[in-house]
Amino acid sequence: MQLLSCPGFAAAGLAAGIKKNGRKDLGLIFCERPAAVAGLFTRNRVQAAPVRLDRERIPRGRCRAVIVNSGNANCCTGEEGDRRARRMARAAAQALGVAEEEVLVASTGVIGEPLPIDCIEQAAPALAAALRPEGIADFAEAILTTDRVPKGVSVERETASGRFRLTGVVKGAGMIRPDLATLLCFLLTDLEAEAEALRPLLAEGAARSFNRITVDGDTSTNDTVLLLASGASGVGLAAPGVREAFREALGEVMERLARWVVRDAEGSNKVVDIVVRGAASEADARRIAEAVAHSPLVKTALFGEDANWGRILAAAGRSGAEFDPAAVNLYVGPVQIVAGGAGCGKEAEAAATEVLRAEAFPIVIELGRGPGTASLVTCDLSIDYVKINADYRS
Amino acid sequence: MQLLSCPGFAAAGLAAGIKKNGRKDLGLIFCERPAAVAGLFTRNRVQAAPVRLDRERIPRGRCRAVIVNSGNANCCTGEEGDRRARRMARAAAQALGVAEEEVLVASTGVIGEPLPIDCIEQAAPALAAALRPEGIADFAEAILTTDRVPKGVSVERETASGRFRLTGVVKGAGMIRPDLATLLCFLLTDLEAEAEALRPLLAEGAARSFNRITVDGDTSTNDTVLLLASGASGVGLAAPGVREAFREALGEVMERLARWVVRDAEGSNKVVDIVVRGAASEADARRIAEAVAHSPLVKTALFGEDANWGRILAAAGRSGAEFDPAAVNLYVGPVQIVAGGAGCGKEAEAAATEVLRAEAFPIVIELGRGPGTASLVTCDLSIDYVKINADYRS
């Protein structure tokens, strides 16, 4: 991971003692001047205290800092949880000398345990003192839970109106599903922009990225995506050529981060695009893609590198979508293994098995019924997924 | 398993060479006189050839025999698959000297491979010769795939109008989900009844049993439940006291078989009732029960015997049902672990962990919002589930 620092921002990450294993668990992003901010949050009806606090504060459209902890989700923690989320923001505000309403918060980790707020309050001054432009790498590490590696992507773009940068970091691993498939994602740019202009771009980027990935069908109570614009480049989003370049850069960064979340997901060994074409409608295409992408039988077959196309058809068949099974074509990578609803034989399956050995490939389902298309990115269901999630709290 | 033979029926099971491991894979039920028959089939849009054939034949309401193979689903096998399903029925008809339209068929196993019809045709005479009243135990063995044990239940009931018997056998293991959660189930009674009278009773029994269990959220392409009445007892379903006694017996037998399917499911170690009370509506209650019962994170926590109630609340929260998270109470067996949306503390969790060590227990979710209730029976998601399903075809 090679991350570019983003002008106008400093970041830090350290071990505050929230995680039992002594790893980094507290991160901070500081904006030298008030940054424009847009956010997206989980649609789960159960929402963590930090999500509720951010929802309250983000309509202001401006913020000075984001403080994030891992190791504890501060969710299902009642009114005391809300108070501790506020205390967490206040600790950062005091250490930074900014107003507490200008601080956003995020948490990830175990649900239902009291947030160890004392650790956080004690660590806040050291965290503020550690802020550096290149601190984003430490920050990326501090927000991890069962992730295997820190995940971040930076791009720099030249436009007719000047150059800008965009750096994103993400934390994923479990509880990943469309409708905000990541737990936490922070995107920093040095463009000059208003919050209102950022919001639709962020929503569009999410539709193309995090809302198209799925690991286990479970959505988190803490999902948070924040986009902050410092303005330090002096390049305005509204200037000629900038908006298009930024939309494209944001889409690329978010899509790369989303795929990385799948690749780094709990126990994941494969990144698989489930592509549905020719469905009666887009909704039907989406139904089939979701049924296939979430099917434990399909996902264990992917883990076993088994070209078990019958499971794919069976999952499509129970999706509720309308189609004629006798018209279905199926491809694994470039290899067709089903034609007109029936298998293409042992040779095709052997060729498909070769494709399945790769780390990433598409599975394409053609229904020949209408114009509906959809695609999702999923991963396999491995023995390690079960091990990790059976042992997570112990 | 102690199975009573059912007067009017004989059965058999043997190894015909369909399975590579030499186990029994072909079963036959023979009705001495034409039996009344009712059936339920998968709602999956992809339907196996034997299901299509049975759907065509069952409106007659009478049958003389059922021939069943395991090791091959005869699904996604095109028109040749339909022809082979017919040949399978014909082989039984010829061996038994009955009309082929009076024979029903069922298949279970791998999807998409040609049914080895030659094995079946060659074995049919020996199968017919092996028919015995007690042969139902061999039959129960012949229909298994990844099941660990043969599963059957018999009851005998005394009514004011006489005594009757009901014997059911089932094959489950994978691809289990509401809307016909078993692959194959055969129910035999010696009552005298018309097919029209059996149909609603069978549907009612399924609603109480197979449509309430879930292993992995995948429905099969081959699900088949058949209820056959030989009339050999001379006791009529319409006689005083019989209908109620039979409804009750059928409900009990189907529910016991359904729970057994969950207990014997691929890699299953726990049978868990997910009970939802106080939802805004029955549909909402069902949504929550399904989201929780299918959640890989909940199911791996069950495997890990971890009282991770946060995952249960998070799954409920993404179900789409309306409720106030701050009003939720949660019980594991008799132990309350969530009150008003927040955890009841370490002591309650320790007590709940004790309950989780058992093989069977309920998880009760109270929403305090309305009259909606629902319940589902599910199992844990274990390392063995992944192993079995990753290796199934190899």
Q: Convert the pLDDT of each residue in B81-133 to its tens digit.
A: 999 999 999 999 999 999 999 999 999 988 888 999 999 999 999 999 999 99
pLDDT for the residue numbered A325: 92
Q: CA B65, CA A195: separation in Å to the nearest integer?
A: 72
pLDDT for the residue numbered B179: 45
Q: In this predicted structure, which of A260-274, A365-379, B178-192, B218-232 has the lowest mean pLDDT?
A: B178-192
- Closest approach of B78 to chain A, Cα-based (Å): 6
C-alpha dist (Å) from residue A78 to A88, A113, A184: 16, 10, 22
Closest CA to B145 of B72, B42, B84, B213: B72
Q: Predicted confidence band at B174 (pLDDT cuts at 50, 70, 90)?
A: low
pLDDT for the residue numbered B211: 84
Q: Predicted confidence band at B281 (pLDDT cuts at 50, 70, 90)?
A: very high
Closest CA to A52 of A80, A82, A77, A72: A82
Closest to B218 (Cβ–Cβ): which among A296, A321, A389? A296
User: Mean pLDDT score of chain B, rounded to an integer?
Assistant: 92
Domain count, chain A: 2
pLDDT for the residue numbered B106: 97
- Closest approach of B347 to chain A, Cα-based (Å): 13
Closest to A381 (Cβ–Cβ): which among B110, B309, B386? B386
Closest chain A residue by Cα to residue B174? A297
pLDDT for the residue numbered A174: 58
A239 with A302, same domain: the answer is no
User: What is the extent of the structural domain holding A145?
Assistant: 9-263
**Residues ≥6 apart with Cβ < 8 Å to B132:** B10, B11, B12
Q: Which residues of A touch B342 (CB under 8 A)?
A: 76-78, 81, 112
- Closest approach of A198 to chain B, Cα-based (Å): 27
- Closest approach of A47 to chain B, Cα-based (Å): 8
**Interval A125-138: pLDDT, tens:** 999 999 999 999 99
**8 A C-beta contact, residue A104 and residue A227:** no
- Closest approach of B300 to chain A, Cα-based (Å): 5
Phi-psi region at A348: left, alpha or beta (left = phi > 0; alpha = psi -120 to 50)? alpha
A323 with A235, same domain: the answer is no
Closest to B303 (Cβ–Cβ): which among A219, A325, A386? A386
Closest to B174 (Cβ–Cβ): which among A73, A177, A297? A297
Closest to A303 (Cβ–Cβ): which among B297, B381, B386? B386
A258 with A314, same domain: the answer is no
B343–A112 CB contact, under 8 Å: yes
B76–A216 CB contact, under 8 Å: no
Q: Predicted confidence band at A252 (pLDDT cuts at 50, 70, 90)?
A: very high
**8 A C-beta contact, residue B116 and residue B89:** no
What is the β-pairing status of strands A360-366 and A372-378?
A: unpaired
Per mean pLDDT, which of A300-304, A316-320, B98-102 is the most reliable? B98-102
In a domain, B391, yes or no: no
Q: In this predicted structure, which of B189-193, B202-206, B260-264, B316-320 has the lowest mean pLDDT?
A: B260-264
Token pair 């979430």 is found at A294
For B36, the token pair is: 């009344």
In a domain, A392, yes or no: no
- Closest approach of A299 to chain B, Cα-based (Å): 9
**8 A C-beta contact, residue B253 and residue B260:** no
Q: Which residues of B touch A385 (CB under 8 A)?
A: 296, 300, 386
A238 with A368, same domain: the answer is no
- Which of A146, A179, A311 to mutate: most B Cβ within 10 Å? A311
Closest chain B residue by Cα to residue A345? B113
B280 with B256, same domain: the answer is no
- pLDDT exceeds 80 at position B275: yes
In a domain, A393, yes or no: no
Closest chain A residue by Cα to residue B341? A76
Token pair 């293991």 is found at B173
Q: CA B313, CA B34: separation in Å to the nearest integer?
A: 52
A300–B389 CB contact, under 8 Å: yes
- pLDDT exceeds 50 at position B339: yes
Neighbours of A360 (CB within 10 A): 14
Closest chain B residue by Cα to residue A305? B390
The CATH number of whichever domain residue A147 belongs to comes to: 3.60.70.12
A318–B177 CB contact, under 8 Å: yes
B186 with B246, same domain: the answer is yes
- Closest approach of A58 to chain B, Cα-based (Å): 22
B158 with B107, same domain: the answer is yes
B187 with B217, same domain: the answer is yes
* Selected residue with higher pLDDT from B394 and B162: B162
Q: In this predicted structure, which of A349-363, B99-113, B207-221, B235-249 has the lowest mean pLDDT?
A: B207-221
In a domain, A391, yes or no: no
Q: In this predicted structure, which of A24-33, A172-181, B132-141 has the lowest mean pLDDT?
A: A172-181
Q: Which residues of A touch B321 (CB under 8 A)?
A: 45
Closest chain B residue by Cα to residue A384? B383
pLDDT for the residue numbered B178: 45
Closest to A175 (Cβ–Cβ): which among B43, B301, B314? B314
Closest CA to A145 of A184, A87, A188: A184
Q: Which residues of A touch B41 (CB under 8 A)?
A: none
Residue at A115: amino acid letter: L
Closest chain A residue by Cα to residue B302? A390
Closest to B112 (Cβ–Cβ): which among A76, A310, A387? A310
B393–A323 CB contact, under 8 Å: no
Closest to A301 (Cβ–Cβ): which among B179, B314, B390? B390
Task: Find the mean pLDDT for residues B336-353.
Answer: 94
Closest CA to B263 of B131, B374, B153, B142: B153
In a domain, A68, yes or no: yes
User: Which of A240, A263, A286 is the endpoint of a domain?
Assistant: A263
Q: Predicted confidence band at B180 (pLDDT cuts at 50, 70, 90)?
A: very low
User: Which of A263, A289, A310 is the endpoint of a domain?
Assistant: A263
Q: Which residues of A touch B72 (CB under 8 A)?
A: none
In a domain, A246, yes or no: yes
- pLDDT exceeds 50 at position A178: no
Task: Return the bridge partners of A372, or none.
Answer: A279
A297–B73 CB contact, under 8 Å: no
What is the β-pairing status of strands B342-343 and A329-332?
A: unpaired
Determine the length of chain A.
394
Q: CA B34, CA B30: separation in Å to the nearest integer?
A: 9
- Read off φ and ψ for residue A378, nearest 5 degrees: -135, 180
- Which of A113, A177, A297 to mutate: most B Cβ within 10 Å? A297
- pLDDT exceeds 90 at position A220: no
- pLDDT exceeds 60 at position A181: no
**8 A C-beta contact, residue A52 and residue A12:** no
- Closest approach of A1 to chain B, Cα-based (Å): 29
Out of B146, B159, B182, B378, the active site residue is B182
B317–A216 CB contact, under 8 Å: no
Q: In this predicted structure, which of B41-50, B140-149, B383-392 has the lowest mean pLDDT?
A: B383-392
B382–A387 CB contact, under 8 Å: no
A256 with A310, same domain: the answer is no
Q: In this predicted structure, which of A16-30, B122-136, B200-214 has the lowest mean pLDDT?
A: B200-214
- Which of B300, B328, B344 to mutate: most A Cβ within 10 Å? B300
Q: Which residues of B touch A327 (CB under 8 A)?
A: none
In a domain, A386, yes or no: no
A56 with A148, same domain: the answer is yes
- Closest approach of B3 to chain A, Cα-based (Å): 32
Neighbours of A198 (CB within 10 A): 25
Q: Which residues of B touch A311 (CB under 8 A)?
A: 111, 218
Q: Which residues of A touch B175 (CB under 8 A)?
A: 297, 314
Q: Predicted confidence band at B247 (pLDDT cuts at 50, 70, 90)?
A: very high
Q: Predicted confidence band at B220 (pLDDT cuts at 50, 70, 90)?
A: confident
B105 with B22, same domain: the answer is yes
A134 with A259, same domain: the answer is yes
**Interval A166-175: pLDDT, tens:** 999 999 865 5
In a domain, A339, yes or no: yes
B221–A44 CB contact, under 8 Å: no
- pLDDT exceeds 70 at position A394: no
pLDDT for the residue numbered A102: 97
Q: CA A291, CA A289: separation in Å to the nearest integer?
A: 6
The CATH number of whichever domain residue A324 belongs to comes to: 3.10.20.340
Q: CA B383, CA A383: separation in Å to the nearest integer?
A: 5
User: Which of B229, B263, B297 is the endpoint of a domain?
Assistant: B263
Q: CA B105, CA B99: separation in Å to the nearest integer?
A: 14
pLDDT for the residue numbered A301: 92
Closest to A342 (Cβ–Cβ): which among B76, B174, B385? B76
Closest chain A residue by Cα to residue B175? A297
- pLDDT exceeds 60 at position B365: yes
Q: Predicted confidence band at A180 (pLDDT cuts at 50, 70, 90)?
A: very low
Out of A108, A159, A182, A219, the active site residue is A182
Number of A to B CB contacts under 8 A, please give it: 219
Instruction: Check if A182 is active-site.
Output: yes
Q: In this predicted structure, which of A41-45, A117-121, B246-250, B361-365 has the lowest mean pLDDT?
A: A41-45
State which H helix or E strand residue A16 sits in.
none
